[in-house]
Structures are given as structure tokens and as C-alpha cells.
Amino acid sequence: MAADVYGGTGRRIEAGQDVRKRRTRSVTETAVYAFLFFAFAEVAIHLLTLGLEHQGGVTLAVSEPVATSFSRPDIVDRNGRLLATDLEAPSIYADPGMVVDRDELVEKLATVLPDIDSKELLRALSDRSRRFVWVRRGVSPKVAQKVHDLGLPGLSFRYELKRAYPDGKLAGHVLGSVNVDNRGLSGIEKYIDEKVGTDPIHAAVLSTRPPVRLSLDIGVQHALEDELDAAEKLYQTKGAAGLVLNIKTGEVLASASIPRVDPTWPTQALDSKHLDRITGGTYELGSVVKTLTIAMALDEGIAKPDTMVDVRQPLQVGRFTVKDFHASNRPLSVTEVFTHSSNIGAGMLALEAGTDRLEGFLRKLGMLTTLTTEEGTVAAPQLPDRWGRAATITVAYGHGIAVAPLQFAAAAATILNGGRPVHPTFLRRFDTDSVDEKPIITENTSREMARMMRLNVSGPDGTGKEADVPGYRVGGKTGTADIAKRGGYSSKSVISSFLGAFPMDDPQYLTFVILFDPKGTKETHGHHTAGYTAAPVTGRLIARIAGQLGVRPMEVVASQ
């Protein structure tokens, strides 16, 4: 009995101990869970408090302006060779709120970016409310790596599109430039923004638009620029310019102005010495304009190639006397007026035609109105204040009227292609709409002018002999114009030019080379006139480009 009682009492004691243990464990677990709950609650409340305290800063960061850039289509030459494209480039920015020591940051950055505006950057970084400050956009990977290696807190990188020009300065004036946001500022780049289209982006996203195909030929462009560079050095000029034009289509195959511009540096084009002289300047071009005057005389029926003109006496224009550079002691035929480049003869033909017919003919050729191309608006021609007798005479031989070289070249091409108006274009032209336009001069006039231009290069008395290239039947006209100065003209400073074309049995291509203030050399026997300077440059140019353009040389004997 006692044993049973003892045994039962023991079991009750063990059961009570288990209950107490479970209760103790439950209390402990509850305490732990409560502690964790309150701990997490405190953290949540603290995070919420921090979030509310910094709400203004978060809003400011979101509202900080994000730069919008633009993706652009590639630019290629007529054969698809790349002239301009977009590349991904790192840009550097700073978060002022993360910058530890702004003075140190600016000082160290200056070792990698020596041209940085330190004062402006310090000012921007001092504003801690800002979360984004541009430091430098579109740097090279090498520069970005150097900045990264500085290990400066607060500096970061983002990739943007940057315009790149694989051939450097080649065709720089034509291509134009873009700004830091990749928007076109000038030239074909501006044309793309206005007519082709770009796409706004916030990251380095390349354009899916088809390339813009230009009329330029990289090979011809390189040859032109190379020859102009050589001429600048040889004749110590103050500048040079030139172009190559398809007479049939109006396509500009090459256009250059020396000094050249680098399209990656837009500010360079703002310097007057880097003016695009082909489209951006107007000049009195001198005797090359006789090409138009004599074409007018033939087309208006005033004269024929063998009509004689008595050029033995100078022409009086007010207090000025118009003379010939090489005086003739006999009358000259109209053909000889052209090949001898007679100022008197051109003036007499213009007087016989009359002011109205001369002005009307030039207007018909597009010489008196403003020309626009894809590169931009061409400099407007400078015309006589009053078209009287004096203006009629001087305009006839290339003074008293100043035009852009491209505008004159288009008029000359119209003379040579059978009279169909030439509209210059910097885009590859696949149609032949211009060919279908009604001719504005007769086919006979065009043929006679081509014959005269060939004779001026191949004949013994021609002023353009130095432009001849055996086998290619080159023709042309020289022009030497005194440069205007206050109160008159300077005979010591001239614009020397040569209007060339080939092959003259069916003119396909026109060249125009202009040298500004060339100096006489030993090779030119001290002369600075076009026959000794611009003409030989043209000859060397045509010798280089004729084959590229697919013009096959004829037998030398047959081509005379």
C-alpha cells in the first residue's frame, strides 16, 4: 500500500515538473518573439523616419535634369564609305552629396583634364542639394580610365553617343559639326536634323535610320584637298579652295577650303580664316566670268565664234581705263577674245548686247539669286548698285559682281551640259530629273563654248596650257582678279582661279580651283597669274581623279 502510494506520488511530482518546464519554455519563447518583434518594429520606424526626413532630397534627385542626347544616322560617301558615325563614349559626372573633399577632387581631376574650368566645377560641387553635375562629356576610354584610377568618391560614369569622323578633317566643311548633345550645328549634320531626322535618347542607343549617302567621293575629295594643300605651300597663298562637279547631274563630288576644319571642334569653324570659301564667301572672280559673257553673245545671236572685235583701243569707264593684260595690235575673233582673255573684247560684246540682256542672261543662269544646298544657304551674290554702262563692262570680265564659287560653277556647268539648269547637290542623286528640264541655252552655244575651252588649253596661244593632261581632253578658262581694297584694287594681291572641264568632246566633270593671293615663285618665273598657278594645280588634280571617275584616256595624238 505504501509502495503504491509512494509510486503514485512520484508520478504526480514528475507530471508537475513537466508542466512547469513547458510553461517556462513558453514564456521564454514569447519573450524572444516579443523582443524580435519590437526590434524589427523599431528598425522599421527608424527607416520610415529617415525616409521622411530625406524626402526632399529624394525628390530633388529625381527632378535633377537628365541630359537628352540624340542618335544620328551615319553619313557615307557615294560609294558607301563611312564619313561620320555615332560611337559610345563615357561621360563623367559627379554627385556633390557624395563628394568627400571637393578641393581635392577638382585638383586631381585637373591632372587628367587640364583644361577643366576649376572655378565653375567648385561652385557646382558646393551645392549639396544637387545630385548630378556634368564634369566632362564624351571622353575617350583612355581618359575615362585615368579618371577612374584617381579613386575619387562622388565621381561616376555614364555612356552617351559621341559623333566620330573616321577621316579626320576630310570634307570637314561639308560635313559640318554637332554640339555636346549630338545635335547638328552646321553643314550636312544640320541638314540631317532639319530634313532627315534624329532620335532623342537618354542612353547610348545607336540609330536604326539608314545612312545618309552624299554625292562626295572620298578618293576625289582626298586628291582635291591634297593638291590644294600642296598649292598653298608652293605659292604661299593666304588660302585655297576647289570643287569637282558632275556636269550632268549637279552632284558635288568634292568640295574643299583651305585651311580645313576639324568637325569634332565646332568652334573652329567660327574663326574667319576657316571660312568655307566655296559656299560661305563671295568673290570677284575675274576672267573666268568671260565664259558666261561670251556664251551670252553667242546665244543671243550678237556674235559668232569668228566675228571680229576691234580690241586695239582701251575702254573708258568714268575715270578708269579698261585695258588688256596683253595688248593686241589687231582685231580679235570672238574665239580669240576668249583664248587671249581680252577684257576689252568682253566689255565690247556686253555693250553690244546691252545691260538688260546681260543681266537677264546671268539671272537665267542663277547668278543673281541666293542659292541653297543641303550644306546650307550659299552666301548671297553682291551685285552692282546700278546696272549702267560701267557695270555692264566690268561685270563682263568678272569685276563689279561677287559670287560664291559654287554658284559660279553651277552656271558654268549649265553652259557646258547643253543648257540644262544645274542645281548643285551634296546628296547622291539617283534620278535624272534635271536632265529633263528645258534647256536655257542652245546646244550649239554649249558645243562652241566646249570647243573654245579646249582650244584655250591645247592651242599655242591659250592661257590654260598648264592645265592640259594628255589623253583626257581638258578644257578651261583662267581668271586672275585683283583683290578689292578700300578705294580700288590691289594689283599685287590677286585671286587666281581656273575653271576646268573634261573630256571636252562630251563634258562630264567640272573642276574649279581658286588660290587666294598666291606668290610668284622660281617655277612660275615670278608670275602669280592663273596660267602659272591655278592652271597647273588643275592639271595635277585631273591627272589624279580622271581614272577614279571612270574616264578612260584617249590616244594622245587623237586627243589634241
* Catalytic (active-site) positions: 287
513 forms beta bridges with 242, 498
Coil, strand or helix at 309 = strand
Q: For residue 134, what is the enclosing H or E element? A: strand 133-136
The set of cell numbers assigned to 409 is 560653277
Q: What is the DSSP letter of 137?
A: S
Q: Which of 275, 342, 267 is nearest to 308 (CA)?
A: 342
Residues in the chain: 560
What's the 3-state SS for 452-509?
HHHHHHHCCCCCCHHHCCCCCCCEEEEEEEEEEECCEEEEEEEEEEEEEEECCCCCCE
The set of cell numbers assigned to 468 is 592640259
- How many C-beta neighbours within 10 Å does residue 547 have? 12
**Angstrom distance (rounded) from CA 182 to CA 84:** 12
Coil, strand or helix at 384 = coil
**Angstrom distance (rounded) from CA 110 to CA 26:** 67
Q: For residue 105, what is the enclosing H or E element? A: helix 102-112
CB 295 within 8 A of CB 449: yes
Residue 49 exposed, middle or buried by CB count within 10 Å (0-12, 13-18, 19+) = exposed
Q: How, if at all, do strands 308-309 and 75-76 pair?
A: unpaired
The set of cell numbers assigned to 103 is 578641393
Q: How, if at all, do strands 252-258 and 240-246 pair?
A: antiparallel
CB 373 within 8 A of CB 279: yes
Q: What is the DSSP letter of 425?
A: B
What residue has cell string 546665244? 299
Q: What is the largest CA-CA distance in the chain?
A: 170
The set of cell numbers assigned to 306 is 569668228
**Angstrom distance (rounded) from CA 537 to CA 153:** 59
Q: How, if at all, do strands 155-164 and 488-502 pair?
A: unpaired
Q: What is the DSSP letter of 404?
A: -
